[in-house]
Amino acid sequence: MSVSDRLRADAGPIWEKIIEHPFVVELYRGDLPLYKFRFYILQDYNYLIAAMKNFGIIASRAPSVEALREIVEILDLEARSEFDGYTALLKELGYSLTDAAGIEPVEIGVSYSGFLLSTSSLGTYAESLAAVLPCFWSYAEIADRHREMLGGNANRLYREWGSAYLSDPYLRLVDKLKKLLDEAGEKAPYERLNEAFITASRYEYMFWDAVYQRREWPV
């Protein structure tokens, strides 16, 4: 079993809760209230900005030129393709990039971003990959699990959003991250990788729950 597959198996109970979270199910079914989707998109935009910064740190710690090129390609995809997609989506929802940039991130968003940045800065290169993989990989698994519902989803916006995570380019990106982690994790302490992967998986669940409940700062 590869390192990434072993990590995924260990995080199984958490991922099941992620995949079956009400926000996810309602979105793929098509009956998620639009105001909740708007809230999610604005918060996820802020996460995307932190993710781009995080990949810059990971790239600087790559152990080889080949790995560096792979990470830079991922960063380029985040900075161009996904960023452009968010710009178009924000516009369709009635927002501008300025609007999104002015939104205060929720508590979990700040904590999750801080965890990723600190792991990449203070942990090992392999640990940083273990921390970023759950986000990308779980979105692909969510889309695959709810593929049938997505096919019958009458909400065009939700259908297009979900379909992106079933696309070949996105799935290749997930496979690239898994491959990088498998290579880097061969000689790394598994317990440290597992801790990073489990923590990130928990944050994924908590983020979905926060945007579903529209849970902002308590004070």
Position 60 pLDDT exceeds 80: yes
Q: Indicate whether 169 belongs to any domain.
A: yes
Q: Indicate whether 218 belongs to any domain.
A: no
Provide the number of structural domains found in the chain: 1
Q: What pTM was computed for the model?
A: 0.95
Q: Indicate whether 219 belongs to any domain.
A: no
In the structure encoding, which two tokens stand for residue 40, read together? 């999610």
By residue range, what is the domain housing residue 111?
Answer: 3-213
CATH code for the domain of 28: 1.20.910.10
Q: Where are the alpha helices (DSSP H) in the chain?
A: 3-10, 12-19, 22-29, 34-60, 65-77, 83-92, 97-101, 107-122, 125-145, 147-151, 156-163, 168-185, 190-213
Output the pLDDT for position 97: 85
Residues 145-179 have pLDDT tens digits of: 999 999 999 999 999 999 999 999 999 999 999 99
Q: Indicate whether 44 belongs to any domain.
A: yes
Q: Indicate whether 90 belongs to any domain.
A: yes
